[in-house]
Structure 1
Amino acid sequence: MNDVNRFSDELAAFYDASHEYGGVGDKSFYLDAAMGADGPVLEGACGAGRLYLELLRRGVDADGFDISPAMLDILREKATVEDVEPTVWEADLRSIGADRTYSLAMVPYNSFCNLRGVNDQLAALEALYGVLDSGGRLLFDVYVPRYDTIAESFGEWQEVREVDYEGTQLRGRSRATIADQVKQTYRTEQELVDSDGKVLSRDEFVLSHLPPQQIELLARHSPFDRWSVSGGFDGEPLADGDSVQVWELVK
C-alpha cells in the first residue's frame, strides 16, 4: 500500500452523505456482533462514523481509526452535535497504534481491498491479531469479484447522486477501470461536478480484487488460529452468485 487511499474534504463529505442512509446491508450484522462482544470493540477504517457512531449511541465501548483526516473530521463534528465522545485516531490497517486490546475488531465495507500487496495484507492481519484479546474475533467483508460487472460497467461513468455541499448542489460520479490485470487491481475515480459540469474535486484510488482463495491463503499464513467465510451477512455458506464474502478470524 505504497499510496494510501484518502479523501479530499469535498469528497469525504459527499461520501458520507451518500452512504449514511444507503443500502449497504451490513449495519445489523456488525452492530449485533459489537453489542454481543465480551469486551471493547475496534472498528478499522471507520470513516465518517456510519457504524462507529451508532456503536456509541448504543453504549458500546468502541474505538476507531481511519487513514483519512477528512473523514475523521466529519466523524468528530457529528459526535459533538450528538454529545458523544469518540476515541478515534489516524492510522492505516497495517499499523494500528491502539493502546489497549479488544474482544472484537471489525473492518467493514470492502476496506480490506485497499491493501494491494501480499506483504501489506499480511501486515494488516498481524496488526489486527496483535490488538485482539485471546479468543478475540476479527470480522471483515469484501465483495466477490464479478466478471459480469467488470465486463458491463467498468470504464463507464456511473452517476451516484446529488448532494448539497456548503450551499452548492453538486453531482457525484464514479468510474472503475482495470489498473493491473496481472496484479488483479482496479482503479476507482470519483468526481464532484457542479451544475455546469465543471469538475470541482477529484480523487483516484487503486484497490484489489480479493477472491476467497486468496483470503484463505492469507489466513493460513497469518497468526490466527481458525477462520471461516459466509456468503453475505446472514451466515449462509459462500456460494456462486453471492456478491459479498464475510470473513471471521479467531485468535
Structure 2
Amino acid sequence: MTESIPLYRDGRHYDAMNRDIIADIPFYIEEAQHAMGPVLELACGTGRLAIPIAQSGVEIVGLDVSPSMLAHARTKAKQAEVAITFVEGDCRSFALGRKFALIFMGFNSMQHLHEYASLASLFSNVLQHLATGGRFVFDVFNPKLSLLARQPEERKHERDYQDPDRKGTIVFEHSVLYDDASQVAHIQCYFTRRGANGEERDFRQEELNMRCFFPQELDLLVRSQGFEIVEKFGNFERKAFASGEPKQIVICRGT
C-alpha cells in the first residue's frame, strides 16, 4: 500500500515534515493505557505514535507495509530505549497469530484504502485480531467541501520544515484535484528548498491520493463490517463529532 507512495519512503523527511503534529499523541496514549492489554498499531510508519505509547509502559506492536519506514522506526525505538515489535505487513492481510486489546490506525491512514474490497478486508482482519471486548480506533479527515472544490492549479502552503540533510528550509505546498465519482482527492505535493545556494523550486513533486469518507457514509461502513460505534469525536480533545469538526475519530468494537 504505502511503499508505492514516495512520500512514505524517506523516514527522515517524513519525521521532519510532521515534527509539529503532536495533538494525537496524548489521545492514543490514553486509549492504549485504557485498553489494559497489548496494542497493535496499523500503518505505524516511523513510530511517531508507537514510540511514545511504548514509553508510557504499554506493550505495542507496529505494522507497516513500508520496509524503509520500519527501518527508521526501529532505529528511533533503539535510540529511545523502548522495546517494540515492528512487523512488515499489509493491514488488509496480516496474520500475527495473537489478539490485541486495542488496534488503532492513526493519522488518516485508512484514507489510503480507496476500494470497498480493501476496506472490508481491513475490518475483517481487525476483527480477527481483536480480543474479546477489544476496541478498534481510527481517525480520518472530515471532508471539507471548500478544500475539495479548489481549482487544481491553486496551491496552498502547508508548512515549512528544516531539511534533515541540513541544506536549508523546505517549503511544502499542495494542490488538490477531487474525483467525486471515486471520492478520491488527488493531492499533488510540491517541495521547494531554500538554502545557501538559493531556491530550488519544486525540486521534489509527489502525488498522494486519499479517499474521502463523508460522516454518514463512514458510520454505515463501520456498522456494515460487524462493528458498533462506541464513541465518535471531532478532535483529539474528545469533543463530540458535529458539523464543521476537522476530524472523524471513531472508537468501535465488534458486535
If the length of structure 2 is used for normalisation, what is the TM-score?
A: 0.87
Q: Counterpart in 1 of 2:189?
A: 190
Q: Counterpart in 2 of 1:143?
A: 141
d(CA) in 2 for partners of 1:74, 1:30: 21
Matches within 5 A, 1:1-251: 4-5=4-5, 7=7, 9-10=9-10, 12-20=11-19, 22-151=20-149, 155-195=154-194, 196-251=199-254
Shift of 1:149: 2.7
3-state DSSP of counterpart to 2:44: coil
Contact 2:159–2:172 under 8 Å retained in 1: yes
Letter in 1 for 2:240: P
Contact 2:39–2:59 under 8 Å retained in 1: yes
Q: Deviations over 1:6-51 (max 9, x none)?
A: 53544x322211223x145212111101012121001111111111
3-state DSSP of counterpart to 1:27: helix
Shift of 1:101: 0.9
3-state DSSP of counterpart to 2:124: helix
Provide the alpha-carbon RMSD of the alignment: 2.4
Distance verdict in 2 for CA 1:74–1:159, change over 3 Å:
same
d(CA) in 2 for partners of 1:6, 1:228: 34
3-state DSSP of counterpart to 1:13: helix
Contact 2:91–2:125 under 8 Å retained in 1: yes
Distance verdict in 2 for CA 1:65–1:121, change over 3 Å:
same
- Sequence identity of aligned pairs in percent? 27
Q: Deviations over 1:86-136 (max 9, x none)?
A: 201222221223231100011111111111011111111111111101111
d(CA) in 2 for partners of 1:63, 1:3: 19
Distance verdict in 2 for CA 1:125–1:6, change over 3 Å:
farther
Letter in 2 for 1:237: A
Shift of 1:228: 3.9
Distance verdict in 2 for CA 1:191–1:70, change over 3 Å:
farther
3-state DSSP of counterpart to 1:49: coil
